[in-house]
Structure 1
Amino acid sequence: MKDLKKLFKKFSLVAAGLVLTGAIPAHSAEPVIWRLGHTLSVPGTLYEKIITEEMPQRIAKASEGIIQIRPLIGVISTSDVINALRRDRVEMGTVTVGYTAATYPLWAVLNLPGLVNDGELLGHVSREIVMPEMAKDMKEMGIRPVTSVSWDGGAYFSNKEVRSVNDFSGLRWRTHAPMLSQLIVELGSSTVGMPYAELQPSLERKLVDAYTSTVPAMNASGLAEVTKYAILAPQGTSLTMVMVTEKALEALPNDLRNKVIAEFDAINREIPKRLHQEFIDGIEKAKSSGVEVIKFSDEESEKVTIAAKKAVWEEWLEQTGPRGKELLERVQAYKK
């Protein structure tokens, strides 16, 4: 009888420990729900499919059905997602670094127009250089970046012909990132603030002449119907980083945690080529929709980069200090 009481007491202590720590028994087959605060939804794009469909499916498979990722779209804003993760309101989240540059400017290094113009390099640079830097900042927040989704295929879109830097003069633009707004103004244009959903009717009514976006997003949103030109010139790219709280990861048994982390890493390595191919295919799709694609010459592209260095790079370097300078140099060296 005493042995039974001791056994019961021991079992009770173990059970209580699991409740208090949130740990998941290694033999548990009960599903664990991870809420994913997805802050920037772009339906119809590969970016959206990867984050809201493929990633949940692959993590579920890697964890033998235990980890169930539930995307929460439009519930948490970009400005609030870091706080939501730190306060355990969600276990996962996405952050588009171009929209948090005022708070975390270092993360937006690839938003610098003219820094990386080769779309095939974006995935490598974001995974090997930018993501580890973000991880340093997020570690003290109890957050881990696990997958970077680079916005390959950024372009300028206009209903007026733009074949050189001089053609920017006088145009009214809707831009999707503060750094691009600074560049647009430097090039002699003006910017107009408006929600993305209002862009199509604004183009139809000629309230704006042009806008910045990505080729996949332009095609997916139907803007090709009201767009005459797609201009390929230095623009920069805004990464979307997928994050998981350390608390959620630590609650998993070691073997399960390792499998989940390995699967996130596999996703991270596989998606850049697919995103770049989506851009290439998107160019052809845009052409078939009647959009004329204009590629800036090397000379005109260099003029855009020079303007960007004056209007954007200098301020970014002031904001980020020595750490930003070192990061910028590492990215530039990777290009060579």
Structure 2
Amino acid sequence: MNYKATFLVPVTAAVGMLYIPSLQANTNWLMATGYPDDSFFTQNLREFVEEVEENSDGRITIDMRSNGTLVSHDEIKRSVQRDVVQLGEVRLGAYSNEHPVFRIDSLPGLATTYEEGYQLNELLQPYYEEVMAEQGILPLAYVSWPGQGFFADKPIESADDASGMSIRIYSQPTQKMAQSLGFNATILPFSEVPQAFSTNMIGSLFTSAQTGIDVQVWDYVNHFTYTGTMHNINALIINPAALDALDEDLQQVVRDAARNAHERGWEMSEARSTENNEVLEEHGFTVTQASDELQTAIKDVGEEILAEWRQDASDEANEIIDTYIQWRNSAE
């Protein structure tokens, strides 16, 4: 992942300071994630937990629960805000109704590659922190989902193939995109996808291959049309009071482990993107790349959605997007 050498934001660690053992009692945290144990997101967080516990010499222990067994996926952000759990992983796009910044990673065509997604996220991090601080949470790390595509019982090559098909999407921008292509689009949380397929509420998905694997989508359809389109972001969040309660050396342990999880997570995502297509094919899927006609249709609606987003967004957010687009154009 060579692009990270260019855009890596270094972690500043205290050096040359006299270390004095802390008399602070051991800290025990709860951590929640909605994804299963075999998800690379969960595996990445396991490594984060291990690093924190090891480098804190056991002064911090983290009881991490996966697959929504501690807190449902939809309640994780609220639970961290209320300090019910101290740490959690959330998909930012799930909160698109709360603030325009949480819709950025769902804007079709804005960041269609890992390089573009990484640079956009680096530019956005200070703004994310500003917005989330007002909500009583602190983001520690961000990890990209693999690129997106259409799961269906046939290839989606044009708007004609999409016409009238029911589809599950997950955000306002993806809903508008799907509707513009002719789908009957419904926003549903991750946990409700299997039931929606089983009850014929939906007949297709727009999501990453990772989500398709997580819900065992081969039980319902057998085609995946990869479009790229966007790289949605998950964030590792913490209750700020919980972090502030630690001695400074332990706070640095957590932040360092989080930055490592950030970098490792992007690498895992990119590697898993290739592996996921192989997994789908092993389960009888036909995996195809989107046609030029479909990509053009997505790009056109993406430009409309971006224009609408700009009207709702702050001047600061618009300036970030302008900076990003200038970078993207110069890189092409």
| TM-score interval for Structure 1 and Structure 2 normalised by the shorter chain | 0.7 to 0.9
* 2:254 counterpart SS class: helix
Q: Which residue of the partner structure matches residue 26 of structure 2?
A: 31
**1:253 maps onto 2:251 in alignment:** no
What is the deviation of 1:81? 4.5
The answer to whether the 8 Å contact 2:106/2:232 transfers is: yes
What is the deviation of 1:134? 0.5
Task: For 2:226, give the aligned amino acid.
Answer: L
Q: 1:170 to 1:296 in 2, by over 3 A?
A: same
Gaps of 5+ in 1: 1-24
Match of 2:105 among 107, 110, 118: 110
Query: Which digits, 9 at most, give the CA deviation of each residue in 1:118-171, with x for residues without a partner?
Result: 134434432x12222111223345532111121113221111331123322221
The answer to whether the 8 Å contact 2:106/2:231 transfers is: yes
CA distance, structure 1, for counterparts of residue 267 and residue 80 of structure 2: 29
Query: Which digits, 9 at most, give the CA deviation of each residue in 1:93-140, with x for residues without a partner?
Result: 3221111000022133111011111134434432x1222211122334
Task: For 2:290, give the aligned amino acid.
Answer: F
Q: Which residue of the partner structure matches residue 291 of structure 1?
A: 285
| Range that drifts further, 232-241 or 199-208 | 199-208
Task: For 2:105, give the aligned amino acid.
Answer: L
Q: Which residue of the partner structure matches residue 17 of structure 2?
A: none
The answer to whether the 8 Å contact 1:107/1:130 transfers is: no
CA distance, structure 1, for counterparts of residue 310 and residue 246 of structure 2: 40
Match of 2:43 among 49, 64, 68: 49
The percentage of aligned residue pairs carrying the same residue is 19
Q: Which residue of the partner structure matches residue 299 of structure 2?
A: 305
Q: Which residue of the partner structure matches residue 145 of structure 1?
A: 139
CA distance, structure 2, for counterparts of residue 87 and residue 223 of structure 1: 34
Q: Which residue of the partner structure matches residue 316 of structure 1?
A: 309
Match of 1:190 among 184, 188, 207: 184
What is the deviation of 1:255? 2.1
| Pairs aligned (count) | 308
Over aligned residues, Cα RMSD in angstroms? 2.6
CA distance, structure 2, for counterparts of residue 196 and residue 208 of structure 1: 13
**1:168 maps onto 2:166 in alignment:** no
Match of 1:101 among 89, 96, 107: 96
Task: For 1:102, give the aligned amino acid.
Answer: N
Q: 1:141 to 1:306 in 2, by over 3 A?
A: same
| Range that drifts further, 85-94 or 53-62 | 85-94
What is the deviation of 1:42? 4.1
Q: 1:269 to 1:195 in 2, by over 3 A?
A: closer
CA distance, structure 1, for counterparts of residue 239 and residue 195 of structure 2: 40
Normalised TM-score (structure 2): 0.82
Gaps of 5+ in 2: 1-19
Query: Which digits, 9 at most, give the CA deviation of each residue in 1:44-93, with x for residues without a partner?
Result: 21012223x22211211121111112235535456654544344333223
What is the deviation of 1:237? 3.1
Q: Which residue of the partner structure matches residue 4 of structure 2?
A: none
Q: 1:42 to 1:159 in 2, by over 3 A?
A: same
Task: For 2:139, give the aligned amino acid.
Answer: P
Q: Which residue of the partner structure matches residue 318 of structure 2?
A: 325
What is the deviation of 1:293? 1.3
Larger radius of gyration: 1
* 2:232 counterpart SS class: coil
Query: Which digits, 9 at most, give the CA deviation of each residue in 1:287-311, with x for residues without a partner?
Result: 222211121244531221111222x
CA distance, structure 1, for counterparts of residue 238 and residue 197 of structure 2: 39
Task: For 1:184, give the aligned amino acid.
Answer: A
**1:277 maps onto 2:271 in alignment:** yes
The answer to whether the 8 Å contact 2:170/2:188 transfers is: no
The answer to whether the 8 Å contact 2:143/2:234 transfers is: yes
What is the deviation of 1:230? 0.6
What is the deviation of 1:215? 0.6
